[in-house]
Amino acid sequence: MGRCKPRVISLCFLLVCGCWQAAAVEMQVASEVNGVVGDDATLRCTFTSSSPVTARLSVDWTYQPLDGQASHSFFYYQSKAFLQTEGLFKGRVSWQGDVNRGDASIQLRNLTLNDNGTFTCTVRNPPDVHGNLAKTVLTVTPRGNPIRITEFILLSGLVLLPSILIVSVLLVRMGCSNGILGRRKTHVCKRSPIEASDGEEDVHKKPSLKRNIIMCCYMCFQDPDYEEALYSMQRRQSEINAESQC
């Protein structure tokens, strides 16, 4: 009879351990959750329990910041949600779960960069009071698109506006120097119908304003030294004027 006692003790120990494991609460969460500043993020937590859900069931959410500080509870549920009245998450946490369906999820509103850290979901359903560690790492990033667009527009304006202004000044200066922008009367030699034909009158006519502007722009961009191009254009204009004189 004495020899059976060790076996009975071992069997009882295994039975107790098996009952303890069967009575544990199993929780499941996403390992990582991503969010953007100003948006909302749902921290999902589901659980299973070997015991029926009663009013004694409780849900506790804790938060540990990235700087390694100790974790602290910021949300508690037992029959109803107990919201935090102070601290980082004040007024920004809402209950999204349904314990009868094994859901213990919450939602964080208006995310900030200070929300980055580790969130742990703990569910106790007596007599099931033990369970696994269910941790979620929340990563909040800044809203990047508006900032990038603003920087792009600013840089484009700083580069394009001065370039457009310089080109406009050069064109106006060259136009004024050559009298392109001034209004001048076109002098045409009066010839008899016998001495000149229609084709000859077209040759002696002063170049049009459009032609002068095109020549001005062409010579400006072809020759880096626009002063030399301007001189050449003036000399050509003088020759045309001399030929057109009677």
Q: What is the pLDDT of residue 162?
A: 81
* Cα separation, 31 vs 134, whole angstroms: 8
Question: DSSP string spanning 34-48?
Answer: EEETTS-EEE-EEEE
Cβ neighbours of residue 84 under 8 Å, at least 6 residues apart? 74, 75, 90, 93
**CB hemisphere CA count around 117 (13 angstroms):** 22
CATH fold of 23-142: Immunoglobulin-like (2.60.40)
Q: What is the pLDDT of residue 129?
A: 86
* Cα separation, 4 vs 10, whole angstroms: 10
pTM over 0.85: no
Q: Taking the domains of the chain in order of start, what are their residue ranges? A: 23-142, 146-244
pLDDT tens readout for residues 142-172: 987 554 556 667 777 777 778 888 888 777 7
Q: What is the pLDDT of residue 212?
A: 64
Residue 232, CA distances (Å) to 202, 217, 246 in order: 23, 13, 24
Of 80-94, 158-172, 187-201, minimum mean pLDDT range: 187-201
Instruction: Pick 57 or 182 by higher pLDDT.
Output: 57
